[in-house]
A = this chain, B = another copy of it.
Amino acid sequence: MSVDLLRELSAVLPPEGLVTDSDVLEAHRRDQAGWAPAGIPRALVRPASTAEVRAVMRLATAHRIPVVARGAGSGLSGGANALDGCIVLSLARMNRVLEIDRRGLYAVVQPGVLNAEVKAAAADQGLWYAPDPASWEFSTIGGNLATNAGGLCCVKYGVTGDAVLGLEAVLADGSVVRTGGRTVKNVAGYELTRLFVGSEGTLGIITEATLRLRPRPPPATTLVASFPTLVAAGTAVTEIVASLRPSLLELMDRTTLRAVESWRPMGLDVEAAALLLARSDAGGEQGAEECARMASLCEAAGGTVIAHTTDEAEGELLLGARRLAYPALERQGATLLDDVGVPLSRLAELLAAVEHIAERHGVLIGTFGHAGDGNMHPTLVFDREDEDAVARARAAFDEILHEVLALGGTITGEHGVGLLKRSFLAGQIGPEALRLHRAIKDAFDPLGILNPGKMF
């Protein structure tokens, strides 16, 4: 059957669309999630059109072969990891911006286009594509959609799903469905668009997306404040989001500050418990005033304002420390980047809990992330060669997730469940919601060939 499959695939794809070279397969069998297993695919297909995706899915259905879709492979939960004998379907060749409608405020794009390319195409028309995952320069829109990716702008502008007006997707049996449209508001039928977004390749292969564009916001004013305790930083965050509309509100803890400072010394206060970076893009006087009010709230919570600028270039420099957080921690050892969310009122408790877990298990954990959304990335750093250290890191990782659920939070705020957190999903959503997940999955993909074993 396997030889048949390859012959049939080669009949519906051009030569460059079908790859079985083992080195290439090796490079396409996993994403960036450290701890998730990955199998050996039978073939990599690289369709260049919706028609080719349909042809592949028809054959996959006929042969009952699992299909794992992938974009740039920059995912962090193992969602794009291969299964033994599967077809890996790369959307890399479907990488065009098909249309930018300046007056309609939307872009129609293929899934393999980079987030950065959509931003650039929108900017050419004086517009803005808001979603900005940390991977925006190298991740694809298809991957952003599959995980409902977040980013730094979410605190004011929402997540990827909030910027999607409509989709085209190929279902497991090769049929094509279009969801949503090009209108801002649309309540005709169920929200299929939002169901595909974040479904991690388990319901269909997204082959086209209509994305919402916005006018570019005014230049931002940037503020940096340091805090003597995590509780003080958490309090400042809570007070800021309860009264103002920051366009960015990021936090780095002491472990992260030290990692950044030791890699790229920039005079960070490594004795501070946490650094908060905040922005207002309200514009002009209003932006300056909003930042001044954020500064007051930081000081009232016990923080010290250490920088404040309306200059965009200087603001980018200040943000540099935050952008270096994860690569700096990666320099310290093997890392496991977590992604958890808590209600805004529980942020300080989350930070304290992670600190205690790090101490208890003797694991270095640097925590940074999107404080204004209650979405943080505790990052475990350990020696991969030290079995005991690995075991302690694993135990700490699990304990963080249990703690997050105890705080009424979520095991993933923006990276997805994938393989990494599959065993925790039921604990968060409960048996009834899990039953609905299975029922929806069966309805869309009755043979279970789309990215089986991921998410649940």
Interface residues in chain A, defined as those with a beta carbon under 8 Å from any beta carbon in chain B = 101-106, 126-127, 147-148, 150, 154-155, 158-159, 161-162, 171, 175-179, 181-192, 194-195, 197-199, 203, 214-215, 217, 238, 241-245, 282-287, 289, 341-346, 370, 373-375, 408-417, 421, 425, 428-430, 432-434, 436-437, 439-440, 442-444, 455-456
Task: Enumerate chain B residues within 8 angstroms of A430, measured Cβ to Cβ.
Answer: 177-178
Are A183's CB and B342's CB within 8 A? Answer: yes
Q: Which residue of B lies closest to A285 (CB)?
A: B285
User: Nearest CB to that of A181 among chain B residues?
Assistant: B410
- Pick the residue among B155, B190, B439 that contacts A437 (CB under 8 A): B190
B433 close to A375 (CB less than 8 A) = no
Contact A439-B428, Cβ < 8 Å, known A284-B286, A286-B284, A286-B286? no
* CB contact between A343 and one of B183, B373, B417, B428 (< 8 Å): that residue: B183
Query: How long is the Cα–Cα vector from A328 to B241 in the complex, in angstroms?
Result: 40
Contact across chains for B345 and A185 when beta carbons are under 8 A apart: no
Q: Which residues of B contact A126 (CB under 8 A)?
A: 242-243
Contact of A179 among B158, B421, B433, B440 (CB under 8 A): B433
A106-B217 Cα distance, complex, nearest whole Å: 27
User: How many copies are assembled?
Assistant: 2
Find out whether the CB atom of B284 lies under 8 angstroms from the CB atom of A285. Answer: yes
A104/B215 contact (C-beta < 8 A), A178-B430, A187-B417, A373-B184 known: no
Chain B min CB distance to A243 (Å): 5
Tell whether, in the assembled complex, residue A185 and residue B105 are in contact, meaning their CB atoms are under 8 Å apart: no
Known contacts A177-B436, A184-B375, A215-B244; decide if A104 and B346 are in contact (CB<8 Å): yes
Residues of B within 8 A of A346 (CB): 104
From B159, B178, B215, B417, give the contact of A189 (CB < 8 A): B417
| B373 pairs with A413, CB closer than 8 A | no
25 pairs, A vs B, C-beta closer than 8 Å: A105-B344, A106-B343, A126-B243, A150-B187, A178-B430, A181-B408, A183-B374, A185-B370, A185-B373, A185-B413, A186-B413, A187-B414, A188-B411, A188-B425, A189-B428, A189-B429, A191-B197, A192-B437, A194-B194, A215-B241, A215-B242, A284-B285, A285-B286, A436-B443, A440-B443
